[in-house]
Chains A and B, each alone.
Chain A
Amino acid sequence: MPARSDAARSDVARDADAALTALYSEHYRSLVRLAALLLDDVGLCEEVVQDAYIRVHGAWGRLQDRDKALAYLRQTVVNLARSTLRRRLVALKHAPKPMPDAASAEEGAYSLVERAAVIQALRELPRRQREAVVLRYYADMSEADAAAVMGCSVGSVKAYTSRGLSALSGKLEGLR
């Protein structure tokens, strides 16, 4: 029996590694950008996404539907971003900063993002409205999916989206 359970654990670990590699290669970039839209500090987006990958990998054996791993990953990113915003605390604050040697290039990219008017306008929105807008119009989620990720009703998502869109219209009117 122990040998069988060890073998099963080994299989799960192999599956998790393979899935992690596939999810990374296909969705890492989009998830980092999603986190960049949700967080106040773009520099933390990679840490949040990497933590989400680590958590999904650790919970791989408990995933009931592994086809929904991407949805689970997105939800984890949103939750971690929310926690970061709420507590102003980075979960893995002691982890090494990403690519210290290439810091200048990344920081340059981040500064571009920071300077984007839409980002500035987005950060002025309440957290719920920001999440609804980003999930609906950047992550291209349906209202039901966004509601599931945000942990609220579809009606609430509609309301948050409408208000967020209206607020952004006023803030970005000059740019259009």
Chain B
Amino acid sequence: MSALEPDELTRLLTEAVEPVRPSPDAYRQIRAGIARRRRWRIPVFTVGGMVMAALIGLAVVAIRPSPSNQVVEPAAPPVLPSTFSEPSRAATVPSLGGGSGHSSSGGGGGSASGSTTRLPTSPPPTRPTASASAQSVAPTSPQSSAPSNSTGPGSPQLPTPVAKPAGVNDVDGDGQPDTVAVEGTNLRVRFSRDGQQAKVPLGSIVTPLNSAVVDIDGDGFGELLVQTQVTNGTKSYALLRYVSLDQLVVVTPPSGLALGAGVHGNSGIGLRCADKTLQISTGTSNDGTLFNVVTTTLGFTPDGLTVQDSASSTVRLPADPSPFVVACGALS
């Protein structure tokens, strides 16, 4: 068998396909194919682009973290000394009791002796499991706390309010009223901004709920005042402040002061919301009618409530208007 020479194979192949002739309208068919391709290109590209955009949009929605997954940076302690951590508030109770060192279970009943401005019947806004008398420590030393501007107003975690001051019942500053409800001894606040809820343990809450949202400091986020209990005719309140997204903290006044309203025996206490300040009036009396009243003006700072001013006066009850009431929004 002799090998096939390349030239011979070329000749054979050329001869084999020699009969093949292109069809006369081949060029026309190519042009028709090109026109057909052009005609479909734009719709196909358009639909493809829309599908791609839709897929990208779905992917973005799918991977976007939901508000419940957002982690609030816990690096700095919350704005105010009295966070929800109970242990931090244990030691200061004695100060309310005039140094008598009564235990947390006392509630302050008759411990007013020895201190002119003490209000024995109004235990501080209590917290869940913490001892009822545990008032916060931090207010007395705000400077010692870690820088709180990371969680205070204006921090990156704090949303931008839509109006200053905040609107009616607007805690989170979105212009919409938020919902406050009681759940046992917990206060549950549902934020209209993102539909999330904050659960704040308060130890006790008076039912039906007696609360008011007032933007006391005018920062665009409403402060929440809640009546926690009533003891011997004196009402106690808790003040909650919106410090970051979906987070409320309990604000406690400086040592020696409490949020309350009412008169019991020879002592009285009152609460008033003034121009970006909170005024606490404490009064003592020898006869139950003539009270020496000390009005302390507290200002809101990122670290909590700080004393701005203090003034003394004399009030005779019931002839004079009583300072021992709560005058803050619709709170009674």
**A contact residues vs B (CB 8 Å cutoff):** 20-21, 24, 28-29, 32-33, 36-37, 42, 45-46, 50-51, 53-54, 57-58, 92, 95-96, 98-99, 102, 105-106, 108-110, 112-113, 116, 118-119, 122, 133-134, 136-138, 140, 165-166, 168-170, 172-173, 175-176
User: B17: nearest residue on chain A (CB-CB)?
Assistant: A33
Q: Contact check, B26 vs A50: say whether CB atoms are below 8 A apart.
A: yes
Q: Which residues of B contact A118 (CB under 8 A)?
A: 9, 12-13, 15-16
Q: Contact check, B23 vs A46: say whether CB atoms are below 8 A apart.
A: yes
A56 → chain B closest CB, angstroms: 10
A106 to B23, alpha carbons, bound, how many Å? 8
Known A28-B27, A36-B17; further 9 A-B contacts with Cβ < 8 A: A32-B20, A95-B29, A105-B21, A113-B17, A118-B16, A165-B4, A165-B6, A166-B3, A173-B2
Q: A57-B34, A113-B16 are in contact. Are A165 and B9 (CB under 8 A)?
A: yes
Q: Contact check, A106 vs B29: say whether CB atoms are below 8 A apart.
A: no
Q: Contact check, B19 vs A137: say whether CB atoms are below 8 A apart.
A: no
Q: Which residues of A contact B4 (CB under 8 A)?
A: 165, 168-169, 172, 176
Q: Contact check, B3 vs A50: say whether CB atoms are below 8 A apart.
A: no
Interface of B is mostly: helix
Q: Contact check, A102 vs B12: say whether CB atoms are below 8 A apart.
A: no
Q: Contact check, A113 vs B29: say whether CB atoms are below 8 A apart.
A: no
Q: Contact check, A45 vs B23: say whether CB atoms are below 8 A apart.
A: no
Question: CB of B195 within 8 A of chain A?
Answer: no
Question: CB of B37 within 8 A of chain A?
Answer: yes
Q: Which residues of B contact A136 (CB under 8 A)?
A: 6
A91 to B274, alpha carbons, bound, how many Å? 83
Select B23's contact among A33, A99, A138, A140, beta carbons within 8 Å: A99
A109 to B6, alpha carbons, bound, how many Å? 25
| Interface members, chain B 18-34 (any A CB < 8 Å) | 19-27, 29-30, 33-34
Top 9 nearest A-B pairs (CB, nearest first) are A98-B23, A99-B23, A116-B16, A169-B4, A33-B17, A109-B19, A112-B19, A54-B33, A138-B13
Question: CB of B8 within 8 A of chain A?
Answer: yes
A134 to B17, alpha carbons, bound, how many Å? 12
Question: CB of B1 within 8 A of chain A?
Answer: yes
| Interface members, chain B 33-55 (any A CB < 8 Å) | 33-34, 37
B105 → chain A closest CB, angstroms: 79
Q: Which residues of A contact B13 (CB under 8 A)?
A: 37, 118, 122, 134, 137-138
7 chain-A/chain-B pairs, Cβ below 8 angstroms? A24-B26, A24-B30, A28-B22, A29-B21, A29-B22, A99-B23, A173-B1
B240 → chain A closest CB, angstroms: 57
User: A109: nearest residue on chain B (CB-CB)?
Assistant: B19
Q: Contact check, B20 vs A51: say whether CB atoms are below 8 A apart.
A: no
User: B12: nearest residue on chain A (CB-CB)?
Assistant: A118
A106 to B30, alpha carbons, bound, how many Å? 18
A129 → chain B closest CB, angstroms: 13
Q: Contact check, A102 vs B20: say whether CB atoms are below 8 A apart.
A: no
B329 → chain A closest CB, angstroms: 59
Q: Contact check, B20 vs A42: say whether CB atoms are below 8 A apart.
A: yes
User: B16: nearest residue on chain A (CB-CB)?
Assistant: A116
Q: Contact check, B23 vs A172: say whether CB atoms are below 8 A apart.
A: no
Select A102's contact among B8, B19, B23, B33, beta carbons within 8 Å: B23
Question: CB of B10 within 8 A of chain A?
Answer: yes
A147 to B37, alpha carbons, bound, how many Å? 31
Q: Which residues of B contact A20 (CB under 8 A)?
A: 30, 34
A134 to B12, alpha carbons, bound, how many Å? 11
Q: Contact check, B37 vs A33: say whether CB atoms are below 8 A apart.
A: no
Q: Which residues of B contact A106 (CB under 8 A)?
A: 21, 23
B293 → chain A closest CB, angstroms: 76
A37 to B9, alpha carbons, bound, how many Å? 13
Q: Which residues of A contact B15 (CB under 8 A)?
A: 116, 118
